[in-house]
Structure 1
């Protein structure tokens, strides 16, 4: 919700973007905000700033375009109008990010106790709550810290601290042969304190407080001179102060992580929150009431993970009757397919492609294929799935991890357009848990059938294992179900719902892995009621699916 080129170029997280926004406004360096203030000063009612907004419902893209034409700030135009509103639609961050929530509620003059929260797509709450409670540092952010420390007359002790961290991360990057490695948080803390030449943890804590105060001084100096201030030093102090607060808590996991981009190896150091309830319970306790909505969430798991039973309020789980006509949904589990790691052979992938061939033959227009992982996706490509797509007169579109949001949006738009082409449509090949299997809708013919290839478990990384162990302790030995099985089935359930978005939609959902039969109770209720098991026989899918599309 921003048009300012400075903020757009920063590509910062929400908290830092708001901080830079504040500086730009204080220095009167944002023309969009200044124009909005001028217009507002001449009007008694903020609604009159842009009355056309109230002629019809406006989504964010339309508001952005309107404000671009008028050189107004879309973010603060929205906020000014909020004071007159009774219903506000906003991103999760506005409520679950403590920093943003405080600013947002203060601006509209409301307390959380006065708010009824309606959490749509609430299956996302668990990840949002843990993400906003986790922190990361990288060599890049440390180098920017060092630049500011050197430029603004810091103590040599502060500069030495950053250099110690830089050397430590570079050493770890050179020795790590895995993508994630657990950290002994107490051991690393003691090692840094020793290298700093400090006698104990108390002195280190005091040093971090001084570092944070110094970051505030720098910020004020930059603000006074009209500079844009990104608070790398303050973020570093926050990171280590949080480390000190949490290193003895089982609800946090500490790790080194390796990522690769354009063949370049990058390392980060992370404090990972494992328990979403640290964020969700205070919100649920404070708000007047809350309504949680999802077409795929498991009520028992969700209520435990977000702490509904600890909110101090009564709650009730309701599984609503599906609005979709059963005659318009075909749901199948395919026997004879198993993508467990030891089964991922050329023979198995050839068999998967043969079964996909049957589905493409039966399905008019567009088909989506969402794989358990990119490894499964690339293996399908390596085993020539494209020839089967061409054989059925369809065009293949492949989701790639390196695509920008804009590039991906154009690809999806092209895929959807194939539904109306003179050919037999398109095939979108992507992954479960990706932006196209969860963040995109495919109504009508834009996706008639969806195929989920494999059970989309995450790799059993140290982070996942830590979460399983922690959940075992706090959720009565339910760690594997809550931390491993449920997220996998949630990704599969989300992908399965892509073709059925309107009550008039007709769609086929194919679970291509026999293990879904054993996990039947975890499949979304509206799908589970119509599911059929297809035997491991050639043409068995055609015999079942062809009549569905050719009545």
Structure 2
């Protein structure tokens, strides 16, 4: 709660989190009902309180109390002063009689604790306590009421506190030890690299002043440890509860874990670090539903959780990476994925994907809000956040998903679901027939289809609530698509588009369309996330122009910026612009021969390992085939579509200190950033593209909207800036250390334009002419 900091020997906890610790028991069970969205929940609370007598009803009552050194705080949903009844409001969908006894017990525990906090604050001797369940779909209320004396409520409150107290004392002691260790923490290397100290000082200033920092720092200076170390050092003085290190890729998370492992050694291992991984990567029983009847690791989960949690956090030298969490979980016979979610409450640093904080329902953001933690955020490779956020706040309905749902066994067995799906199909087909052309933009979501979708998800939800043990993957998949669309429509604005385009799916019928709510400017959503944290640093080697990123990422007006100069010398990198080559789509066939000739000449002039980047797999294959045909003596390796992680490692494994060859890759793919091939492992790169997004109706609509929102910058914001950013990222694979030397060939005449060159790193020394080698 907003309050003065507690003394170091005190511990503060929210009512919800206290009850989650003390009152949860039994199985992990995710069968109850589809949960309302956050906005639906807020609206539901508002409808319940709006029905009450405004002269005698109070809502959102801020309460707190102490038990020994523990402070418990929260907001009671409502209190009727005339009836002397405190209400705990819960919104739901589906059938209330499907709720598990354990879930009901948890809700009662929360209500009773609020009851005592209110009795103590108001001097009440007794009161009624009501659980108010509000059905989002029918808008019906169901009340369960108990009468309690203040004495009995106090006893209940103190009993819960005693259950938590031993843990609270351990947590308070850990916090003191952690802060002392961080104050004494030394840098994990003998000295800072060039530029690294400047970055570290800026991160420390931003974290201590509670600001958002946008920092561009070149590849190779050690950005990972250069941001983590100062953020950790700032934690004690700012009473920061948690540090979240978020990255878009596994490689970035691994670098963070390695840096934290070194820093923990320096800090006498007083820092709890947790790696969070996706459910599909940590599930021990893929295909099983998450409840005790289907998965043994869900059975009795909350009964075995306390000992598993204690064991996981008891070993101070253990960094809680995926394998460590899995090991502890399986010893206690519980789910590793959900154990990691529980551990997130009690660690100091979490390393995970962007979605854990930025996405709808992101766990880390939800915990931050529930506990009102002071959080410092580090966003690695922040140039990726725009596209990732667009994906988080977009949704597409596909005819294939509807088709699979309609053909499912559930539709055959459940007439109401079959009827609802048929209604959706009719409305969708009518829109398909009315559409002229392959692509159309709508100012609002078509109301007839929206009504059918709303009724459909209600019918599906009711069916699953009635049959919780028979979850149909095809129907559930369509349900999730629709729920995401409905959630996005609650916040629809000029930051997004509603469009329909002819489906390109393999089995799509003529005239079928995909319908999308397509976010193009994630700023309004992300601005709420920056407001939730004490401080944030977004860093990358490619954040130019910074105003572009600030606009689209919704950074606060008073955010700070930093551009760290390169530690590399122009002599380390020869940059050539091939003005005689055009890789525009219309000229692509004609470009293959000169591109191959240039690559072969460079390889002959200096044998070693190179990466060649292309705009598409098709173009990559055409050039690779031509090089293989005309110069069979040059070894080459090709990136393929949908490479698994093992295949990616195999591809990179061919780049050794002694090997020679050219690796063909797609710009913006797995090998265009986040890989480290220093020294002789990589001595050059060929860029046969400007990286500009494809010219198509969707991008043209995005460009038009960007023009409207950002004063005519549509082309730059849609095409030029994102494209050149990918080019610089890919080229950045060549020079990784102060000892590296290499060459880059920018194979397109447009690289010679002043507007384009201004977006390339200043330390690059462009030849400005076409060399003799390039003209051979």
What TM-score comes out, normalization by structure 2 length?
A: 0.56
1:396 aligned partner: 636
CA distance in 2 between counterparts of 1:214 and 1:228 reads 14
CA distance in 2 between counterparts of 1:31 and 1:67 reads 16
Segment of structure 1 superposing worse, 253-262 or 75-84: 253-262
2:653 aligned partner: 416
2:560 aligned partner: 316
CA distance in 2 between counterparts of 1:411 and 1:43 reads 35
CA distance in 2 between counterparts of 1:427 and 1:161 reads 55
Matched residue of 1:529: which SS?
coil
CA distance in 2 between counterparts of 1:333 and 1:345 reads 20
Matched residue of 2:716: which SS?
helix
- The answer to whether residue 388 in structure 2 is matched with residue 128 in structure 1 is yes
Against the structure 1 CA distance between its residues 184 and 321, is the aligned structure 2 distance closer, same or farther, given a 3 Å change threshold? Answer: closer
Equivalences for residues 204-219 of structure 1 within 5 A:
205=451, 208-219=453-464
Equivalences for residues 124-523 of structure 1 within 5 A:
124-146=384-406, 147=408, 148-154=410-416, 157-164=419-426, 167=429, 181-185=438-442, 189=446, 192=448, 205=451, 208-223=453-468, 225=469, 227=471, 231-232=476-477, 234-235=479-480, 237-238=482-483, 241=486, 249=494, 251-259=496-504, 268-298=514-544, 299-308=546-555, 311=556, 314-346=558-590, 348-382=591-625, 384-387=626-629, 390-391=632-633, 394-401=634-641, 403-406=642-645, 409-410=646-647, 412-420=649-657, 424-502=659-737, 504-518=739-753, 519-523=755-759
CA distance in 2 between counterparts of 1:69 and 1:135 reads 36
Matched residue of 2:416: which SS?
coil
Higher strand proportion: 2
Is the 8 Å Cα contact of residues 449 and 508 (structure 1) preserved in structure 2? yes
CA distance in 1 between counterparts of 2:518 and 2:724 reads 23
Q: CA deviation at 1:335?
A: 2.9
CA distance in 1 between counterparts of 2:508 and 2:385 reads 33
Q: Runs of 5+ in structure 2 lacking a partner?
A: 1-276
Equivalences for residues 70-109 of structure 1 within 5 A:
73-99=335-361, 101=362, 103-106=363-366
Segment of structure 1 superposing worse, 113-122 or 459-468: 113-122
CA distance in 1 between counterparts of 2:739 and 2:303 reads 48
Is the 8 Å Cα contact of residues 366 and 427 (structure 1) preserved in structure 2? yes
2:144 aligned partner: none
Against the structure 1 CA distance between its residues 68 and 405, is the aligned structure 2 distance closer, same or farther, given a 3 Å change threshold? Answer: farther
Is the 8 Å Cα contact of residues 615 and 667 (structure 2) preserved in structure 1? yes
Residues 370-429 of structure 1: CA distance to partner in whole angstroms, max 9, x if unpaired?
Answer: 0133343233135x11145533xx42112233x4424xx4255245335245xx523111
Point out which structure has higher relative CO (alpha carbons under 8 A, 6+ apart): 1
Q: CA deviation at 1:115?
A: 1.7
CA distance in 1 between counterparts of 2:508 and 2:403 reads 21
Against the structure 1 CA distance between its residues 381 and 136, is the aligned structure 2 distance closer, same or farther, given a 3 Å change threshold? Answer: same
Is the 8 Å Cα contact of residues 145 and 162 (structure 1) preserved in structure 2? no
1:538 aligned partner: 772
Matched residue of 1:397: which SS?
strand
CA distance in 2 between counterparts of 1:112 and 1:378 reads 53
Q: Tell me how large the CA RMSD over aligned residues is.
A: 3.7
What TM-score comes out, normalization by structure 1 length?
A: 0.77
- The answer to whether residue 277 in structure 2 is matched with residue 42 in structure 1 is no
Against the structure 1 CA distance between its residues 258 and 106, is the aligned structure 2 distance closer, same or farther, given a 3 Å change threshold? Answer: closer
Q: CA deviation at 1:359?
A: 1.9
Higher helix proportion: 1
Is the 8 Å Cα contact of residues 443 and 505 (structure 1) preserved in structure 2? yes
CA distance in 2 between counterparts of 1:331 and 1:416 reads 26
Q: Runs of 5+ in structure 1 lacking a partner?
A: 10-19, 194-203, 543-551
Is the 8 Å Cα contact of residues 296 and 494 (structure 1) preserved in structure 2? yes
2:208 aligned partner: none
CA distance in 2 between counterparts of 1:67 and 1:389 reads 54
